[in-house]
Structure formats: structure tokens, C-alpha cells
Amino acid sequence: MDPALLVYTSGSTGQPKGALLSHYGLCFGSTVQNQHFLVTQPRIICSFPINHAACVADSCCVNLVAGGTLVFHERFDPALVLQTISRERINVLGGVPTMLLMLLEHPAFESTDFSSIEFIIWGGAALPVPVIKRLQALAPRLMNIYGMTETAANTTYSSPDADLTELSETIGRPSPQMPCRIINTQGEPCAVGEHGELQFKGEYLLLEYLNRPEATRDVYTEDGWLHTGDLGYWRENGTISLVGRMSDMFKSGGYNVYPREIEQLLESHPAVDMAAVVGVPDPRYQEVGVAYIIPRSDSDDKGSEALTVDALRSFCKDKLANYKVPKTFTLVDELPLLPVGKVDKVTLKQRASKGQTEKTY
């Protein structure tokens, strides 16, 4: 199979690796995605870094296969995106949650004409229910997707008529053309509700990691399934809920803690816009959680007590086991981001370990 593209992974958990993707993988993946998107003449903005799969595969190749229109931006600029939506009559709006949040919080949001938008799509992280509700007012159809550089395409999709639960708590269902399984630590298929690693299989997956034969060997199982490193579980209706990255998990007092669960809870707080949780060493519990929180821009309207340490800790304690409740809470104006817009957990963990905090409660 002929190689087409070399894309370096984001490096969210360590040294980036060069994933070699094939012509077949890009074309196959783009065709599958268009079958799920159901937009005949898409008009989209591409402001992802050109060296990232979200640009070349998820935006450019998908749109070219559909015969759509691409409007390129050198970088993500929320003001320019909002202007372009109105001027170019954009009908598909996509991005990572950070991008969509920046659009919703921009001063020009209220005056932007969104009447052309048919479809809003996001991936890379979960969106809180209040944000999804705001997006539902902009477009008749929303979709949450999941994929990674190594898959050359998105591999799971929420339903065309997905409700709030599916959009906020799941990554939808695997595409029928992209076999998926969830495997437990014993190497056996997981039952409904049982946590395990998501794995995918197919010729569309990466050919190899450039000059990294050991990494290429390790990313596949002996029977050809791709290790994603993501933990999740099947729900009764066939959708998948993510628990988090295997590399993000930390142990506190001997118990496994998955930051994603805590982040989703914090983001459900009416005064919280975005949250990120990392584990740091602790002499008593081995590791404890540190939470970084971006308050909602209009949180003052809800009362200053909404974001005191006691309120946040009490909010978590009502719904989480004690060992999952973060040890500290830090209010920040922004979070460190990777070029594609995902939270840079490596930098955040380094900051937390060094005690580089502001407004810590």
C-alpha cells in the first residue's frame, strides 16, 4: 500500500512519532466520514495546523472527496471564523471543543449570522451539556466524533438524531466499515459497562511509525488490532463512553483515577467553562489530582461564592468518591494547548508538580 502522508502525533503523552498514512487510508476514511456527515455540498473553514491530521485528513481530504468548498485560514482566529461564516455561507462548522468555546465566548458571536450552518461537529474532547444546548440553537444537527492520527480518519460517530446524553457522554458508535473491540486487561472482549482499551482493525490504519520499528510493532496486537491507548466501555445501546487515556490515569491510595470523569463533572458546574485535571506525586497517597479551571465569562452573574474552594470541593464530593476529589483547585484564564487545540497535559502536569499555580484554593 503506497504511503501518502507523514503526520507527527501531537505528543500529548511524550515524544511525537511520525505516523505514515497511506493513500488508501485517506481515501477510504474520507469516504466513510462523508457517509456519516450526510452533507452533499459542504462549505467548511480549515484553520487547523497544516501538519496535523485534522487539517489534511479530517478537513481537506473529506471535503475534496465530497466535492465541497474549503476556506483556509492560516491559524484559528475566532473573530475571523465568525466573519467567514457569514461572508462565505459556511454550512459545516467543526473543531475541537476549545475552538467552539472560543467562538461562543467571542464578543462578535451574538451579531454573527449562523443561518447557513447545517451541521456542527467536534472531536478530541467532550463538551459540557450547557455548551451543547447553545450549539443546538445554531444548527439542526450536531455530531460528536472520535479518531486519532493513526486511524487516518474518524472511526466512531454519534447518531444523526443523537440526544444530549449521547452527545455529551459518548463518542457514538463505531462505523460499520471500521471494526472495533474493547479489550480488558486479560485480553478478553469487555462486557457492557466493563472498562477496557479501544482497538480498531483495517487496512486504512497507519502503515508504520517512521524509523520506529519497535513502536510500530507495539502499536499492533499479534492479530492485527491497533492499540489506541484510550479506555472506554460499551453502553447498552451500542454507543461507547470514553474513560480517558491510559497514560492519563493515576493511582491515588491504590485506586485508579481517570481525569476525564472529574473534568466532565467540573464542566457541568454552571460557573465552569472548562476544566483539566492531572495527577501529581503525593507522599501519603502516591498521587493526587490537581484541577485547573477556566471560569465562565459570565460567572459573576451567578455569585462569587460559586467558585470558592468549599463550593467546588463540595460539588465534587457529592458525586465522586473521596479519592477522586482533586487536592487543589486553580482558577486560570487559559490552559496550555497543543497546536491542534487540545489541552497540553504534559505541560500542565509539569506546572502542577512545580506548584506553578494562581488563585489556588
- Contact (Cβ atoms closer than 8 angstroms) between residue 209 and residue 17: yes
Q: What is the mean pLDDT of the segment spanning 139-146?
A: 96
DSSP run (H or E) holding 37? helix 23-37
- Contact (Cβ atoms closer than 8 angstroms) between residue 60 and residue 34: no
Q: Exposed, middle or buried, 286 (CB in 10 Å: 0-12/13-18/19+)?
A: middle
Under DSSP, is residue 294 helix (H, G, I), strand (E, B) or coil? strand
CA R_g for the chain: 20
What is the rounded distance in angstroms from the CA atom of residue 84 to the CA atom of residue 75? 13
CA 289 vs CA 101, 190, 248, 327: distances in Å: 24, 28, 11, 6
DSSP run (H or E) holding 134? helix 129-136
Q: How far is CA 202 from the centre of its chain?
A: 22
What is the rounded distance in angstroms from the CA atom of residue 170 to the CA atom of residue 322? 25
pTM: 0.80
What is the rounded distance in angstroms from the CA atom of residue 154 to the CA atom of residue 236? 22
Q: Tell me the residue type at 317.
A: K
Report the chain's mean pLDDT, rounded to a whole number.
89
Bigger pLDDT: 335 or 254? Answer: 335
Domains of the chain: 3-244 (3.40.50.12780), 248-353 (3.30.300.30)
Has residue 111 got a pLDDT over 70?
yes
Query: Which own/partner contact pairs does 180-186 have at CB distance under 8 Å and 24+ positions apart?
Result: 180/155, 180/156, 180/240, 181/225, 182/232, 182/233, 182/234, 182/240, 183/225
pLDDT in tens, 221-266: 999 999 999 999 999 999 999 988 888 888 898 788 889 889 989 9
Check residue 357 and give its pLDDT: 46
